[in-house]
């Protein structure tokens, strides 16, 4: 594997997780080994001690029954039977003087243990020692015990068999450890790779997106684990970014197409006045026209900004408790004079009160736009009827019904688009933004606006608002 690739692997989460996994495994195995090792050695030592004590008991019985000479020959016999390299016996006086011993040629390095003898004489308690002989691998367990009055027995037993077993155990442990740590690293690597594969998918998608494709999404698994949640959240964020980018694009398209014409008009009027106009009156009317056009332009820009903010969710609702029935009646009252001027009948049918939570300013604007349109697109003698009702206790419905020009079926799917105006509206003032704004505000309340219309007979716009919108 090239060095650079190895270095880049070292930085990965999967590599570090594997290292941790293998490390924790190795440390816990070592701890387990140490515990086991301590247990085994202590079991072996106890067993040896019991054997030594058993022999000491035998010696003291023989001494009591048959005297010192019998004990001396017992020492010889026992040492020969067990093997002179395995055990030795020494009979000592309490001052450390040797009475007798088994064949000590193999045990020359083990001297009279004065400290042990003193301790035995002083405390009257058996003294065990584990002695290491220089240049010899195996240790010796030695017991000093009083077998008769003033007679001390020193018994030593080689721990060679135990050491062999423990060495074999150590070797097996090391080999097993190496294999298991290798296996643990492999399993750890596999698991870590599996765990981070979801993160890699997110990274890949993010990389593709930075290359310009906002419509890509990370595949979301079905396990519902942290990675799936990350992928789902990432996709949600992408959806939101995509919506915002689309908004910005639409906005700039609108600026390019629809705001250009009023500006061109203003410029054209000014140019014509400058080149042809002579009288001050002509300049005055040009200035008045410019102010009017600029107001219209500003109104359009503000409305567009409001739509964009409402649609993108940037405009937070100023929620408060509202009596919608009252809001509807107020709107009707406000526009009553307009209806009268135009010779239209305006009726308002609402319950006494209808409470819900919403943004007063937005709801007023929706009602004003719908009513304004109904009055605008209904000719003299017609009627506009506004009604408020509740549906299943969950929704509130405001219907604005008119007997006006109606909307041709071909236009119906487009009337909520920005700047869309039907042919019949050319003679009426307007920007084509009113319905877009009304619907954006309704949707910001988790509601909507629906329309039914028959060309030449009239239209009904229905504002639907949830009574309890989720926050
Ligand atoms: P405008 O400023 O043109 O009224 P809107 O967005 O409010 O813009 O409406 C978009 C178009 O929908 C209008 O131009 C009009 O053609 C049509 N429209 C809206 N309301 C009505 C209505 N009540 N009756 C007939 N046509 C309507």
For residue range 50-78, what is the model confidence (pLDDT) as tens digits?
999 999 999 899 988 998 888 888 888 88
**What is the pLDDT, as a whole number, of residue 436?**
95
Locate 237 and state its tokens.
């964020």
What tens digit of pLDDT does each residue of 409-428 get? 999 999 999 888 998 888 88
**What is the pLDDT, as a whole number, of residue 6?**
66
Nearest residue by C-alpha to atom 2 in ligand 1:
430
Ligand 1 pocket residue status of 437, Cβ below 6 Å: no
Residue tagged 């000719």 (tokens): 379
How buried is 300 (Cβ within 10 angstroms: 0-12 exposed, 13-18 middle, 19+ buried)? buried
Ligand 1 pocket residue status of 438, Cβ below 6 Å: no
Say yes or no to pLDDT of 110 above 70: yes
What tens digit of pLDDT does each residue of 355-369 get? 999 999 999 999 999
Contact 324, 363 (CB under 8 A): yes
392 — pLDDT class (breaks 50, 70, 90): confident
Please give the residue that has the higher pLDDT: either 220 or 175.
175
Nearest residue by C-alpha to atom 20 in ligand 1:
373
**What is the pLDDT, as a whole number, of residue 293?**
86
Mean pLDDT (the chain) is: 88
408 — pLDDT class (breaks 50, 70, 90): very high
Tally Cβ neighbours within 10 Å of residue 265.
15
What tens digit of pLDDT does each residue of 285-329 get? 888 888 888 888 888 888 988 988 888 777 788 889 999 999 999
- Pairing, β 139-148 against β 127-132: antiparallel
Relative orientation angle of helices 226-254 and 280-312, to the nearest 10 degrees: 170
Rounded CA-CA distance 84/391 in Å is: 107
Nearest residue by C-alpha to atom 14 in ligand 1:
421
Ligand 1 pocket residue status of 404, Cβ below 6 Å: yes
Q: What's the sign of the alpha-carbon dihedral 326, 332, 337, 338? A: positive
Please give the residue that has the higher pLDDT: either 377 or 253.
377
Ligand 1 pocket residue status of 55, Cβ below 6 Å: no
**What is the pLDDT, as a whole number, of residue 225?**
81
């Amino acid at each position: 594997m090239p060095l650079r690739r190895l270095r880049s692997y070292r930085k990965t989460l999967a590599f570090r997780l594997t290292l941790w996994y293998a490390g924790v495994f190795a440390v816990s195995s070592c701890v387990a080994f140490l515990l086991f090792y301590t247990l085994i050695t202590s079991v072996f030592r106890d067993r040896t001690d019991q054997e030594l004590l058993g022999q000491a008991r035998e010696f003291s019985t023989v001494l009591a029954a048959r005297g010192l000479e019998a004990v001396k020959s017992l020492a010889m016999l026992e040492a020969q039977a067990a093997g002179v390299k395995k055990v030795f016996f020494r009979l000592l006086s309490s001052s450390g003087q040797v009475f007798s011993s088994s064949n000590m040629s193999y045990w020359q390095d083990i001297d009279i243990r004065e400290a042990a003898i003193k301790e035995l004489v002083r405390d009257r308690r058996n003294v065990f020692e584990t002695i290491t002989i220089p240049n010899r691998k195996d240790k010796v367990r030695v017991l000093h015990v009083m077998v008769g009055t003033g007679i001390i027995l020193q018994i030593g037993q080689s721990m060679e068999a135990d050491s062999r077993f423990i060495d074999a155990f150590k070797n097996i442990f090391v080999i097993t450890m190496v294999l298991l740590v290798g296996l643990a690293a492999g399993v750890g690597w596999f698991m870590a790779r599996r765990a981070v594969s979801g993160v890699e998918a997110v990274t890949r998608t993010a990389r593709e997106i930075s290359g310009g494709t906002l419509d890509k999404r990370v595949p979301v698994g079905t396990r519902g684990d942290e990675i799936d949640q990350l992928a789902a959240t990432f996709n949600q964020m992408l959806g939101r970014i995509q919506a915002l980018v689309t908004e910005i694009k639409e906005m700039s398209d609108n600026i390019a197409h629809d705001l250009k014409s009023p500006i061109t008009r203003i410029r054209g009027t000014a140019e014509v006045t400058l080149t042809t106009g002579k009288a001050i009156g002509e300049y005055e009317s040009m200035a008045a026209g410019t102010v009017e056009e600029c107001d219209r332009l500003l109104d359009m820009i503000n409305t567009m900004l409001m739509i964009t903010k409402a649609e993108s969710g940037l405009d937070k609702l100023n929620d408060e408790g509202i009596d919608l029935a009252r809001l509807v009646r107020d709107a009707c009252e406000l526009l009553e004079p307009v209806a009268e001027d135009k010779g239209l009948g305006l009726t308002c049918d609402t319950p006494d009160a209808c409470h819900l939570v919403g943004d007063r300013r937005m709801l007023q604007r929706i009602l004003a736009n719908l009513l304004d349109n109904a009055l605008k697109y209904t000719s003299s003698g017609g009627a506009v009827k506004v009604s408020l009702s509740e549906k299943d206790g969950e929704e509130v419905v405001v219907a604005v019904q008119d007997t006006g020009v109606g909307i041709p079926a071909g236009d119906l799917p487009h009337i909520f688009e920005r700047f869309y105006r039907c042919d019949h509206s050319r003679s009426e003032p307007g920007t084509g933004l009113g319905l877009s704004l009304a619907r954006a505000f309704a949707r910001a309340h988790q509601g909507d606006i629906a329309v039914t219309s028959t060309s030449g007979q009239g239209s009904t716009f229905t504002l639907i608002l949830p009574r309890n919108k989720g926050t």
